[in-house]
Amino acid sequence: MCAEKLLKFETTAVHGSKGFDPLTGAISFPIYQTATFKHGGLNESTGYDYSRLQNPTREEVENTVAKLEGAKFGAGFSTGVAAVTAVLSLFKPGDHILVSDDLYGGTFRLFRDIYGPYGIEHDFIDTADLNDVINNIKENTKAIFIETPSNPMMKVVDINGVVKLSKEKNLIVIVDNTFLTPYFQKPLNLGAHIVVHSGTKFLGGHNDTLAGFVVTNEEWINERIRFYEKSTGATLAPFDSWLILRGIKTLHIRMEKSQENAIKVAEFLKKHPKIKEVFYVGLPEHKGYEISKKQATGFGSMISFKVKNQEDVAKILKNVKVINFAESLGGVETLITYPQTQTHAEIPAEIKKRLGVTEDLLRLSIGIENISDLIEDLESALGC
């Protein structure tokens, strides 16, 4: 009997975990839009009982994301924040977690305002600096939570380096892989224990749904995550599961095209007389460029930049036409965001200043439009 061939990433993304619906043969996996499932008799089940516990459409997207990440287990949640919340449920009062200081404002809020009062201790540190990690590990430290590249300053964390430190102290390494996706980066292969995603972003890819995922190879972690999921009910709905499945089919194509555009936009911004500084991992002068080349196969499509004249921020946001001034990222449309009042509004001013999240900073999520249209749009907005 022939051994099952291990499929390449692109093929798995297109076909999904099962490849088709085994019940009907449907190539597009069906939306099982049902709350409950009929039992044949006492102690007889189809394997599905109630959609909060499991649903065939959600199961397919969970297994697909897990497969793409090289993981054994995956769990789907209603949002990325819900996925991070599930991970934090692994810890108890008195536990200490080291957290990337430069990260999504919603994650910052979870640590500081939701779990902090319940006794889960944390320190926001520069996880891109391994010495900073070493110096902040305490006796009660249980985990290290990192974003890489980080949001919005695009810091790159040496995942291998963090993993080596974690093994010495028996710490759990959690990586938010939203920006690069498993197409460009696989943290579990680098030794991380848990990967989280805002599936709303690149996995879905069309700015039309909300989703979150937790993937792991650790059975005990999966069991705890599953228990939390069924107990709190922040599960991914069938229709949203289907939208993510549909988005994943083109993930590799979108990631390549948006990265191709991002490199050109970064080069344009770098040379523009009104731009003070550009933060893009794919620029050779970026501090994390070499580390990124070692641990990832691409640089992604997220760019932050600072203008020389702060007054230009409002002009750019008002005058872009092709690029949309909107929160979020990872869709086919290019979006521009003002972290100061949007994604990072609730982060204290002193922390934002230390990180460089200042009033002259803008963030771009580059889409798949024609590159000439994007550059001309930026050029026009900057010149107005």
For residue 198, give the nearest of 184, 214, 222, 174 by alpha carbon. 214
Record the tokens describing residue 40, joined without a space: 């044949």
In whole angstroms, give the CA distance from residue 120 to residue 108: 13
Q: Active-site residue 104, yes or no?
A: yes
In whole angstroms, give the CA distance from residue 84 to residue 77: 9
CB 52 within 8 A of CB 230: yes
CATH node for 9-248:
3.40.640.10
Question: Position 351: which residue type?
Answer: I
Which residues touch 66 (CB under 8 Å, ≥6 apart)?
17, 72, 73, 74, 215
Q: Active-site residue 373, yes or no?
A: no
Print pLDDT tens along the chain (384 aa).
566 678 999 999 999 999 999 999 999 999 999 999 999 999 999 999 999 999 999 999 999 999 999 999 999 999 999 999 999 999 999 999 999 999 998 999 999 999 999 999 999 999 999 999 999 999 999 999 999 999 999 999 999 999 999 999 999 999 999 999 999 999 999 999 999 999 999 999 999 999 999 999 999 999 999 999 999 999 999 999 999 999 999 999 999 999 999 999 999 999 999 999 999 999 999 999 999 999 999 999 999 999 999 999 999 999 999 999 999 999 999 999 999 888 888 888 888 889 999 999 999 999 999 999 999 999 999 986
β-strand 212-216 against 335-337: which pairing, if any?
unpaired
Catalytic annotation, pick one of 58, 67, 142, 201: 201
The ranges of the chain annotated as CATH 3.90.1150.10 are 251-383
Q: The whole model's pTM is what?
A: 0.96
When the candidates are 1.20.120.10, 3.40.50.1820, 3.90.1150.10, 3.40.50.300, the CATH number that belongs to 251-383 is: 3.90.1150.10
Catalytic annotation, pick one of 52, 264, 270, 315: 52
In whole angstroms, give the CA distance from residue 336 to residue 327: 7
Q: Active-site residue 201, yes or no?
A: yes
Residue with tokens 């750019």: 316
- How many angstroms from the chain centroid is the CA of residue 60? 19
Give the pLDDT confidence score for residue 368 in this predicted structure: 98
Give the pLDDT confidence score for residue 1 in this predicted structure: 55
In whole angstroms, give the CA distance from residue 380 to residue 370: 16
Q: Active-site residue 246, yes or no?
A: no
Give the pLDDT confidence score for residue 156 in this predicted structure: 98
Give the pLDDT confidence score for residue 3 in this predicted structure: 61
The ranges of the chain annotated as CATH 3.40.640.10 are 9-248
Catalytic annotation, pick one of 102, 176, 240, 312: 176
Record the tokens describing residue 159, joined without a space: 């995942």
Which residues touch 220 (CB under 8 Å, ≥6 apart)?
none
Give the pLDDT confidence score for residue 2 in this predicted structure: 61
Catalytic annotation, pick one of 32, 67, 101, 104: 104
